[in-house]
Amino acid sequence: MTETTFFIPSLNMMGAGCLTNAVGNVYSYGFRRALIVTDSVMNSLGVADKLGALLAAAGVSSVIFPGAQPNPTVGNVEAGLALLQQEQCDCVISLGGGSSHDCAKGIALTATNGGSIRDYEGVDKSAKAQLPLIAINTTAGTASEMTRFCIITDEQRMVKMAIVDRNVTPLLSVNDPELMLGKPPMLTAATGMDALTHAVEAYVSVAATPITDACALKAVSIIAGNLRTAVAEGNNLAAREAMAYAGFMAGMAFNNASLGFVHAMAHQLGGFYDLPHGVCNAVLLPHVEEFNADIAASRLKDVAHALGVDTLGMSDRQGADACIAAIRRLSADIGIPSGLTQLGVKDQDIPILAANALKDACGLTNPRRASQADIESIFRAAA
């Protein structure tokens, strides 16, 4: 077995109501002035103000930056950094989903390392630890609250940059499902399918390990057992808590085994059309696994079993086909759009989307290599 590494934040708090003690930890870490990085919706819902009041009661003052856009941009990071420096904050707290966490990571990293977030595209390009980041998660989920990844859209090139850097790992991650009760059904569906994609891609990845396998398969079975309920009954706290654990465990898997062509291709759709990450993953997932099926058949049969399929007596290829069918059924049951055309993707853009997908770091661990023509045909199959 080759040498492997396992990245995870040093402290991860989970469970209904854990936010209160998490805020206490901000004070006991010694921080006294926080920049809260969130987005306009979370801010308008009053969630950021509530967090500010909890922090104030614990002895920590704060200022809110509500400028993290979905698919956060270089401009968002620069604006947030300016506010952090003007307000002389000593820590960053992200409040929201992956967009808020990634924007906050970009702010915290450039606050200590200087330059532009563009300078850190690639693997471990930074020299110093970021300003301490506490990630309070409200979607389940991208797992950005616990990963060493930061995805920032370069609005000039219209591509999502992957900053893969241990220094963007949050100090503390917080998953309180009480903050997830208000997620609308489509957002619950999209983020849940993002988590499933993380687990499946990590499980078929060429960088999978026994640790990431255990996390991935457990995440798959929790998602199979709870996502439909979380979409249909948003106030079901048990289903929300289960999905929070599933998103986190899928994060443990891909934070260490990375991903595959689903993400490499989905990132292009996010960067080019500003489409929601989880929906892009959900539409592409069955098509990429169809492309991988011959090479990853036995792995996909394991995933089928974790999805609840009775695979006894099936060949590996039959198991892989059953896995792909079960993913399609789950997607349809929770209202995910069936094709990319419905999302506004244009055939004439596919060549540039495919060329950029082949440059995305996520593709490096896909179990099957692909040519430009292969990626183009997968995009067209998903139309």
Ligand X SMILES: NC(=O)c1ccc[n+]([C@@H]2O[C@H](COP(=O)([O-])OP(=O)(O)OC[C@H]3O[C@@H](n4cnc5c(N)ncnc54)[C@H](O)[C@@H]3O)[C@@H](O)[C@H]2O)c1
Tell me which residues touch ligand X (CB under 6 A).
39, 41-42, 70-71, 96-100, 102, 138-139, 142-144, 147, 149-151, 160, 179-180, 182-183, 187, 191, 194, 270, 277-278
Cβ proximity to ligand HE2: between 239 and 284 the closer is: 284
Q: Could you say which DSSP state residue 81 is in?
A: H
Cα separation of 59 and 282, whole Å? 43
Cβ proximity to ligand HE2: between 205 and 226 the closer is: 205
DSSP letters for 260-306: -HHHHHHHHHHHHH---HHHHHHHHHHHHHHHHHHHHHHHHHHHHHH
Cα separation of 290 and 262, whole Å? 11
In the bound state, the residue with its beta carbon closest to Fe ion is 263
Are 103 and 76 within 8 A, CB to CB?
Answer: yes
Does residue 222 belong to the site contacting ligand HE2 (CB under 6 A)? Answer: no
Cα separation of 141 and 226, whole Å? 13
Cα separation of 254 and 77, whole Å? 24
Q: At what angle do helices 316-333 and 185-204 cross, to 10 degrees?
A: 160
Binding mask 246-285 for ligand HE2 (x = CB under 6 A): ------------xx---x----------------------
Cβ proximity to ligand X: between 131 and 133 the closer is: 133
Cβ proximity to ligand HE2: between 65 and 149 the closer is: 149
The option from ligand X, Zn ion, Fe ion, none interacting with 376 (CB < 5 to 8 A, set by class) reads none
Cβ proximity to ligand HE2: between 237 and 358 the closer is: 358
The option from ligand X, Fe ion, ligand HE2, none interacting with 164 (CB < 5 to 8 A, set by class) reads ligand HE2
Cβ proximity to Fe ion: between 38 and 142 the closer is: 142
Residue 93 C-beta: closest distance to ligand X, Å: 15
Are 14 and 137 within 8 A, CB to CB?
Answer: no
**All residues at 6 or more sequence positions from 79 whose CB lies less than 8 Å from its CB, including other chains:** 65, 67
Site for Zn ion in 180-209 (CB under 5 A): 194
Residue 159 C-beta: closest distance to ligand HE2, Å: 13
Residue 82 C-beta: closest distance to ligand X, Å: 21
Site for ligand HE2 in 157-216 (CB under 6 A): 162, 164
313: left (phi over 0), alpha (psi -120 to 50) or beta: left
Cβ proximity to ligand HE2: between 175 and 268 the closer is: 268
Strand, coil or helix: what is 381?
helix
Closest alpha carbon to 118 in 169, 68, 160: 160
Residue 145 C-beta: closest distance to ligand HE2, Å: 13
Core vs surface per residue 299-327: b (16+ CB within 10 A) or e? bbbbbbbbbebebeebebeebbbbbbebb
The option from ligand HE2, Zn ion, Fe ion, none interacting with 219 (CB < 5 to 8 A, set by class) reads none
Q: Which residues bind Zn ion (CB under 5 A)?
A: 194
Contact residues toward ligand HE2 (CB under 6 A) are 149, 151, 162, 164, 258-259, 263, 361-362
